[in-house]
Amino acid sequence: MGEFEVRAIRPDERTAVDALHEREWGGPYVVAHDSRHDLRTLPTLVAVDDTGAVAGALTYHADGDGLEVVSLVAAVPGSGGGTALLAAATATAVSRGLSRVWLVTSNDNLRALRFYQRRGMRLVGVDRGAVDRARLLKPEIPEVGDDGIPLHDELVLEWRANVER
């Protein structure tokens, strides 16, 4: 696992981040909890490796008591960039006095469930049929996801400050 500098995106890094979003989400839009998000308009953190290359990006939205991770993508999964970005998002939330970091993933994304739970996040909700509804906003969402799992539901995970894990 490498060392990364994590910071706010710079204008000259937008193309690299957009390419990650294209690879992971098919473009700059994601749909979660019945909302369509344009990742280009959200605050973005990048993990930059020792060569200056963008190794990952995390976009977020903060309001109320929480910071929502809208997208987290690593150029090379397993390299440590995602872990560094999630830690930075948590630090951002804490510095703003927010008590939780939360996100939504789909029911087929077992890799993400492992990743987030290993980093202290807990499963706190299931929105049955949310992905089916999301297809109305983004029809290219497939019917079947990773590992041949039918894609229907959103899972909500969160980390809370000062809560026993």
pTM above threshold 0.85: yes
Residues with Cβ within 8 Å of residue 58, at least 6 apart in sequence: 44, 45, 46, 69, 71, 72, 73, 85, 86, 88, 89
pLDDT at 84: 95
β-strands 100-106, 154-160 pairing: antiparallel
pLDDT tens-place string over residues 58-96: 999 998 889 999 999 998 888 899 999 999 999 999 999
Provide mean pLDDT across the span 105-112.
95
Q: Percent of the chain at pLDDT above 70?
A: 97
What fold characterizes domain 5-160? Aminopeptidase (3.40.630)
Give yes or no for residue 109 having a pLDDT over 60. yes
pLDDT at 1: 56
pLDDT at 165: 46
Residue type, 56: G
> Which is more confidently placed, 10 or 78?
10
pLDDT at 78: 83
pLDDT tens-place string over residues 127-156: 999 999 999 999 999 999 999 999 999 999
3-state DSSP of 127-152? ECCHHHHHHHHCCCCCCECHHHCECC
pLDDT at 8: 97
pLDDT at 3: 87
Provide mean pLDDT across the span 112-116.
95
164 band by pLDDT with thresholds 50, 70 and 90: low
- Extract the tokens encoding 162: 């000062």
